[in-house]
Each structure stands twice: as C-alpha cells, then as structure tokens.
Chains A and B, each alone.
Chain A
Amino acid sequence: MKNTLEKIASFFVVIVLPVLVIYLTIHFGLHRNEAHKPVVSLKSETTPKVNHGEFEILQQAFINPKDVTAACLSCHNKRDDELMQSTHWLWEREADIPGRGVVKIGKMNIHNNFCTGAQGNNGSCMRCHIGYGWEDETFDFNDANNIDCLVCHDKTDTYLKQKGMAGWPATEATATAEFPVPDYNLVAANVGYPDRDNCGVCHFYGGGGNNVKHGDLEEALFHTNRKVDVHMGEDGPNMVCVDCHEAPNHNIKGRSYSVSANNTNRLHCYECHTETPHNDAILDYHNNKIACQTCHIPVYAKVNATTLYWDWSTAGRRDENGNPIKEYDADHNYSYLSIKGHFVFDNMVTPEYYWFNGTVDHVLNDDTINESPVQINRLFGSYADTNAKIWPVKVHRGKQAFDPINKQLLSVKLFAHEKGQGAFWEDLEWEEAIKQGMEYNKRNWSGEYDFIETEVYWPLNHMVSVKEETLSCKDCHIREKGRLENLNDFYLPGRDYNKLLDFSGFAIIIFSLIGVIVHAVLRIL
C-alpha cells in the first residue's frame, strides 16, 4: 500500500506537476495581453421606430426651416426644454474653477488662438450653432422654434447650413451650387440618430478648415480604417460619434477642454473596456497614473495635417498689386494668408504630454495677462494630484492681438459680408476690426494693440491606434529622449536613476549569484 502511494506521489510530482506547470505557463502566456473585448450595443445600428415620411405634418410645403422645427416639436414635445439647457445651444455652462470660483464659461466669453473668439463674428462662427439666425445679441435663446433639429438628425446628408449665414440653410435668394435650398420634406422624412456627417460638419472643421483645431478629429474620419481609428474604422467596429457620446435627454456625454472646465460628464474608456482591460497586471497598473490615450494615441493628425502654429501678427500683407496673398507649404497646406497670417501645419504629429486631472482654467475677457506665452486654457494636474494622469495633448501655439495697456487679449471683428464694415477679413485693418470687436463684446480697449504669444491645450481622445502601434515600454522607460522626458516631477523607472542605488542593486545581485555558485560548488565537493 505504501509502495503504491509512493508511486502515485512520485507520478504526481515527477509527471503531473511539471506538465501542469508547463500547461498553465503556456496557457497564461498565450492569453497574456489579450485585451478585454467589450460587447456594447451601438446607437448607430438603431433605426427609428416610425416612418417619418408617413406623417402628414412633415409633408407640408416648408419654406422656413423653423416650420420644420415646429412640426418636430409637435410630437417630440419637451425635447426643446432639454435641448435649450445644453451647451450646444447655450454655448456656455457654469463651472467651478479652482482659484476662480463659479463662473459661466464657453464660446460666449472665452478666447482661443485660432480665429481668437466667436462673439462678434456671428455670421461665420454661428453657422455651427444648433439654431437658426444667431446674428447678434438679439438672438432669442428662449424661442424653441430657433432650434435646428435637422442639422443633427438629417440622415440624407443633403441638409447644410450655408456659410456666413449665422446658422441658416440656403434660401432661394442665397442658394449656390455648394449650398442648395434643402428639400425639407425629404430631410424631415429621413431623420434618425446622428451619424458622422452630422457631427463632423462642425467638429471636423473647427477653426476654419479641416483638422485646424482638434488634430484628432478631421474629415478623414468620415470613411476610415482601423489604422487611423480603431473604433471608427469601417474594417472594424465602424462606430459613429454617438456610439460613445451618448446623449440621454440631449445631454451629450464628453467635453472639449477648449471650452469647458470641470471633471464632470466625461467619457471614459473603462465604461466599455473596464479598468483592467489588458489581462496583464503591470499594464493595468499603469492606469493609475497614465491615461489610456497616452499609449493608445501615439500620433495624431494621422491623415491630413493639423495647425500647430498660427501667427496673427503677420496678417494683413498684400502683394505688389494690393491683393491679399495665399501661400502654401510643400504639403499644400496654407502657410500664409493675408486674412489670417502665418501657419505651421503638420501630420503624424507626436503629442506632448502633461498631467491632467480633468479640470481646466481659461483666460476670460476681463482677465489680466501676466505671462508670455499666455496659456489660454491651463490643464490642472501634477504627479502629487491623485486625480491626475499623464495625457497626450495637442498644443496649439501662436501670436494674437492683445492690449498692452490694459493687458488683456483683444476681441476682433473678423467677419462681415462685404468690405467697409470694419471686418479684418475684408479690410485687413487691425484698428477698426479691434474697435468693433471690443465694442460688440462690451469691453474696454485702450486704443493700443500689439501681439503676444499664446498657447491652447487640447487633450487627445480620438484616432486611437491598433494594438500593434501603441507605445511600447521603451518609448517612455528609456534613459534619454523618451516620450515623457519633459515630465520631471516623479521617478520614472528606466529613465531616472540613482548611481548609489543602481550600484547597490547590482552589487546585491552579483553577491547573490556568487553566493549561489559557491554554495553549489561546496555541495558538489
């Protein structure tokens, strides 16, 4: 009996145990780094429960798009109440900013270093407001019929707001080949969840052209592949914006930190991917201090170039015949425009990296400038901040007009329909453009202007790369020229070192090895 037990034990120890260890090692080795695959239902696969084309109210002969809105609201009642509380409508929201308190911020009152500010340039900028006719301060934010339902819900891709018309689509009087009068019956009969065209028509072209602002949102995403964006690739999940940016009660999740400030209503990768998606404890542990985006968005502007520098101080030049100038770089991006100044564009750009805890401060109209370059929006966060993580960021740098006496950024009137109305884009005259821009915004101007260096910070979220192209360890954990070389408020293994500590470590290893060898030799002898 004892002999049999010994044989079984020997068989277990000599055969079964090693095989089990080898099997488990191989099994977990093979499945290591096998990412968690989320299973989510996509809004883009939802179709309306009704055929809107059958509704008599949508078959009337629409002349004014506001009548379409009235027809929509006759069934979708209360939706206007939701929408009129949204930032897409108000272009501002309350924010509690550290050091500043509760303030209202948004496109209503903050600056940027692209076209510098929306207010006073309504005809042009308010094309991307979800309303009709925000031409000046008389726009009625309480009139529900001013809501443009179609710009977000059109599924025909034929409904367009006309350029320079403050959010109005073309009329018989203004129609062009590019902007025809919409077929309102066709569009109203074909509405549904927003697709890429509905969001992209504004969010891909912010700043006056494709990919000028974001760097990770551009027209290439209308039809793309997994290598450009692993979520939106048509050869992958083929997701559209609202699949992540859900909008319960028209409150759209996610926010752009160029116009918002608080760590609320954000979208997080873990909502689909969990907080431990890698099946690898070390990689998952990185999530404590590293945003997913840092490794998974190694480059941005993967297809078309984005603006990295915009110098307004050079704007206004004319050629020898007195005409405005347009010049391009070797990649056929603008390098100079008389109406806007000098640009630097680039694609396949490596992000800069900053600590970011989800809160941001902004330079507001009344703020005094005490530094150069001016950080128009400043990301809060540091290693010591337990809410902060390292984020990839597009930093847009430039020079723009400021008041050297009052030390404030200036509001400039850029747009008008024709010359002689004080708009810089028409007349190329700074003084009148600043005067009118400041008057519209009810701000004081000393009468002097100069140009100052400014920066705007855009945390990156889109153009997520395929697994094979994410950052590897040595991109950061390397002695020199690593991705995080400018973040020096913490100890980064592989980059940072202490000679005494390193020497001690190596000494312990070497002495241990010597000890093992000596011990083994003594045992053999």
Chain B
Amino acid sequence: MKNIVIAFMSLLLLASCSKHQEYQSVDEMVDNALKTVQLITAEELHTLMNGDGEEVYTLIDVRQEIEHYYGFIPGSVNVARGSLEFNINDEAYWEHVGLYMPLKDEKIIVYCKKGQRGILAAETLTKLGYTKVYALEGGWKKWEITYPDLFDKDLSKLGGNSSAPASSGGC
C-alpha cells in the first residue's frame, strides 16, 4: 500500500512538473501568452512613429499577404505568422524587403487584424530570444479606427481587386 501511495504521489509530482499544456480554446491560449507578452496601444505606437527617430524599431504585420495589401500601418513589413520564425533571422529575407534585420535586443512590434495572432507571434519571437517584443493591442482594426487617415495600401500587389460586396438599401 505504501508503495502505491508513493508511486501515485510521484506521478502527481511529475505531472505538475510537465511543461506540456493543452488549451480548450484559442482564447485560453492567447490569455496564457499574455502572461509574457507586452502590449502596445495604437496611441503609443503613433507616438513612437512620430518620435525623434532615435529609437530603432521594426513594425511587422503578421497577417497573410492577401490581408496586408488592402491596408496596413505605414512603415510596416509583412511577414506572415506562418513564416515568421524562419524569416525573422534570415538576412536574405530582410535584404529582399530592403530593411535591416532586427537585432535580438531591438524593439519589435507585431500586429495582425484584431490582436490575437499578434500576441501569439510576439510570444514566438520571445521564445526565439528577442527581448523587446510588443504586440499591438487590437491590431490593424484598432489602428484603422484610431488613425483612419494614417494608412497605406497597395492593391496592385493583389493582382486585381474585383471582389465586390453586395449593395442594397435606399441610398
């Protein structure tokens, strides 16, 4: 009996030490990531963009290319979340996009459409050793409504822009 109790307690101890964690939903996953990820607001990013330029930072849009070119924050580079881990430290990639590759101790700000992908992307970069990673709170949509006049778009990169919403109504 004593041995069974010891074995059971040992199992419990091992289970508690395990780093493996399962989530019931992506919301739970994002909440967990937020324990380590720092957020930056649209207003703080705006201040940073309008600063004296002494602080080096890289602004990364982690949405898919098909989302990015319809509208993005000026100065941001599109590195889709699926290839972020591979491109972030690939000098050839940064040379291709015409930017300096961010150093591990430089400020990196990532954003997505509404914030959740950005938080997970920021967590990934943190795990890769980047020490000043921020996720834009609310993502592109928050930026878009806070600074509706401050955006870039490049529809030519989308190979046409023919998909139209249905229109109706009195006006």
Contact = CB atoms under 8 A, between A and B. Distances in A.
A483 interface: no
A208 B148 contact: no
Contacts of A302: none
Contacts of B165: 209, 328, 332-334
A210 interface: yes
Contact of A128 (B141, B164, B170): B170
Interface string A195-238: 00000001001111110100000010000000000000000000
Interface string A157-176: 00000010000000000000
B47 interface: no
A342 B148 contact: yes
Interface in A364-423: 397, 414-415
Interface in A458-515: none
A346 interface: yes
A308 interface: yes
B171 A344 contact: no
Contacts of B71: 329-330, 335
B70 interface: yes
A456 B166 CA distance: 25
Interface in B108-146: 113-114, 141, 144-145
A208 B170 contact: yes
A209 B169 contact: yes
A124 interface: yes
A75 B71 CA distance: 58
Contacts of B170: 124-128, 163, 202, 205-206, 208
A311 interface: yes
A121 B63 CA distance: 41
B155 interface: yes
Contacts of A348: 114
Interface in B139-159: 141, 144-145, 148-149, 153, 155
A212 B66 CA distance: 24
Interface string A412-436: 0011000000000000000000000
A344 B163 contact: no
Contacts, number: 77
B154 to A, nearest CB: 11
A208 B169 contact: yes
A412 B170 CA distance: 16
B169 A328 contact: no
A326 B164 contact: yes
Contact of B161 (A206, A327, A415): A327
Contacts of A309: 144-145, 148
Contacts of B169: 205-210, 212
A489 to B, nearest CB: 22
A517 to B, nearest CB: 30
Contacts of B163: 328, 332
Interface in B12-51: none
B164 A308 contact: no
Interface residues of B, number: 25
Nearest to B63: A330
A115 interface: yes
A344 B145 contact: yes
B96 to A, nearest CB: 23
Nearest to B168: A205
B167 interface: yes
A328 B168 contact: no
B106 interface: no
A346 B141 contact: yes
Interface in A308-335: 308-309, 311, 326-330, 332-335
A297 B171 CA distance: 28
B67 interface: yes
A205 B167 CA distance: 9
Contacts of A311: 148-149
Contacts of A219: 168
A332 B165 CA distance: 6
Contact of A210 (B67, B68, B168): B168
B161 A207 contact: no
Contacts of B145: 308-309, 344, 346, 397
Interface of A: 114-115, 121, 124-128, 163, 202, 205-210, 212, 219, 308-309, 311, 326-330, 332-335, 342, 344, 346, 348, 397, 414-415
Given A311-B149, A330-B113, 5 more contacts: A208-B167, A209-B169, A219-B168, A328-B70, A330-B66
29 contacts: A115-B171, A124-B171, A125-B171, A128-B170, A163-B170, A205-B168, A206-B169, A206-B170, A208-B171, A210-B168, A219-B168, A309-B144, A309-B145, A327-B155, A328-B161, A328-B163, A328-B164, A329-B71, A330-B63, A330-B66, A330-B67, A332-B164, A333-B165, A344-B144, A344-B145, A346-B141, A346-B145, A397-B145, A415-B171
Interface of B: 63, 66-68, 70-71, 113-114, 141, 144-145, 148-149, 153, 155, 161, 163-171
